[in-house]
Amino acid sequence: MNEQYQHKARKRFGQNFLHDAGVIDKILRSIRAKPDDRLLEIGPGQGALTAGLLNSGARLDVIELDKDLVPILNHQFGGKPNFSLHQGDALKFDFNSLDAAPGSLRVVGNLPYNISTPLIFHLLANAALIHDMHFMLQKEVVERLAAGPGGGDWGRLSIMVQYHCRVEHLFNVGPGAFNPPPKVDSAIVRLVPHATLPHPAKDHRVLERVVREAFNQRRKTLRNTLKLLLSADEITAAGVDGGLRPEQLDLAAFVRLADKLSEKPIPA
């Protein structure tokens, strides 16, 4: 890279730049971008994935928070007609401003670990726009996303993401693929919004509330963690054993609890 366009990774932005050509190729092959795709890359960094995404011929918008990376990205890619750069915070970005057709946006990102969970929830709020998402995340976060009921990884993140999406843990990536190398292993995950929700709740905000309350004290039984929301009889009426701990319930059971709460009159 030209000395004028060198950039040192910044801890405050959680930057770890991907440089392993084999890993980059494997990610690009997982995405399989096509010329008529509408791509959005979050946190392109120094453009490790950007070049391959642009070479597909697809239209690519990128969102980069670090102002110092903007001239580097513009120098590399600014002349390409299918490239648009937005400087700003992806957590506050209005995805509707891209004028993408419903269900068309393919989102890609090597996400900083400190914003990965809130950013995924921000994207899920815009799930109607999204075709699929491919993210590099901390391996333990991907394990939580892909978890099933009964284990310690099953929790709020697993349930709320799986409510909206099919989750595929594609492959793991060691620290040596990055500069500087992070202290943890990473993994690539694919999230595909459901065309039809498998377990639709009457109100997904009520579902979020029930799940949050249930896992606030995950070692306690449901009749204890949910006692401010639902009585023991109401939990039973939802077809759920109140003596279970929250990690023992599947998504469908949480939706039944949320729907039971949705039926209750709101106190004056």
Q: Say which CATH number the domain at 98 has.
A: 3.40.50.150
For residues 15 and 75, state if they share a domain. yes
Q: 142 and 38: one domain? A: yes
- What is the domain-level CATH number for residue 209? 1.10.8.100
Say if residue 11's pLDDT is above 70.
no
Higher pLDDT residue, 120 or 3? Answer: 120
Total of domains in the chain: 2
Q: What mean pLDDT, rounded, does the chain reach?
A: 91
Shared domain for 170 and 57, answered yes or no, is yes
Q: Is residue 69 part of a domain?
A: yes
16 or 154: which leads in pLDDT: 154
119 plus 179 within the same structural domain? yes
Residue 114 shares a structural domain with residue 180: yes
Name the band, by pLDDT with cuts 50, 70 and 90, for residue 266.
low
Rounded average pLDDT over 94-123: 92
- Grade residue 10 by pLDDT with cuts at 50, 70 and 90: very low
Q: Is the pLDDT of residue 4 over 60?
A: no
Domain span at residue 151?
3-193
| pTM, full prediction | 0.90
Q: What is the pLDDT of residue 3?
A: 39
**Residues 142, 76: one domain?**
yes
Give the pLDDT band (50/70/90) at residue 268: very low
Q: State pLDDT tens for residues 133-190.
A: 999 999 999 999 999 999 999 999 999 999 999 999 999 999 998 888 888 899 999 9
For residue 267, which amino acid is it?
A: P
- Whether residue 243 lies inside any domain: the answer is yes
Regarding whether 100 and 22 lie in a shared domain, the answer is: yes
Residue 9 has pLDDT above 70, yes or no: no
pLDDT digits (tens, 9 = 90+) for 23-61: 999 999 999 999 999 999 999 988 989 999 999 999 999
